[in-house]
Amino acid sequence: MDSTLSRNPLPQVITYLAAMKLKEIAQKLNCELRGAANVEISGLAGIEEAQSNHLTFVSNPKYFRLVKETKAGAIILGPDGPETSIPALVSQNPYLTFALAIELFYSPPEPIPGIHPTAWVAETAELGDDYSIGANVVIEDSVRLGKRAVIHPNVTIYPHAQIGNDFLAHSNSVVREHCQLGDRVILQNGAVVGADGFGFAPREDKSYYKMVQSGRVVLEDDVEIGANACVDRATIGETRIGKGTKIDNLVQIGHGSRVGQHNVLAAQVGLAGTSHIGNHVMLGGQVGIAGHLTVGDGVVATAQTGIARSVKPGALISGTPEMNSSLWKKNYILMHDFPELVKTIKRLSQEVEELKSQQTEQTKI
Bridge partners of 150, per DSSP, are: 132, 168
List 73, 254, 260, 296, residue binding a copy of itself (CB under 8 A): 254
Write out the binding residues for a copy of itself, residues 33-52 only, by CB under 8 A.
43-46, 49
Pick from 70, 84, 132, 154 the residue near a copy of itself by CB under 8 A.
154
Among 78, 246, 293, 313, binds a copy of itself (CB under 8 A): 246
Among 32, 61, 314, 351, binds a copy of itself (CB under 8 A): 351
5 forms part of the interface with a copy of itself (CB under 8 A): no
By the rule CB under 8 A, 331 interacts with a copy of itself: yes
Q: Verify binding: residue 309, a copy of itself, rule CB under 8 A.
A: no
With 0-12 / 13-18 / 19 or more C-beta atoms within 10 angstroms meaning exposed / middle / buried, residue 11 is exposed
Return the C-alpha torsion angle 8, 14, 16, 17, nearest 10: -30
Span near a copy of itself by CB under 8 A; candidates 19-27, 30-38, 80-88, 103-111: 103-111
- Which residue stretch of 27-35, 66-74, 75-83, 203-211 sits at the interface with a copy of itself (rule: CB under 8 A)? 203-211
Instruction: Kindly report the number of other CB atoms within 10 A of residue 135's CB atom.
Output: 15
Q: Which of 152, 170, 178, 255 is catalytic?
A: 255
**CB 277 to a copy of itself: min, Å:** 15
If binding is defined by CB under 8 A, does position 6 make contact with a copy of itself?
Answer: no
What DSSP letter does each residue of 276-292 carry, written as one string? Answer: EE-SS-EE-TT-EE-SS
Contact 133, 120 (CB under 8 A): no
Contact call for residue 95 and a copy of itself (CB under 8 A): yes
| Contact in structure between 90 and 32 (CB atoms under 8 Å) | yes
Euclidean distance between CA atoms 143 and 141, whole angstroms: 6
Burial of 243 (0-12, 13-18, 19+ CB in 10 A): middle
**What is the identity of the amino acid at 189?**
N
Residue 67 sits at φ, ψ, to 5 deg, of -65, -35
CB of 83 or CB of 204, closer to a copy of itself: 204
* Known catalytic membership, residue 276: no
Is 258 one of the binding residues for a copy of itself (CB under 8 A)? Answer: no
Catalytic residues: 255
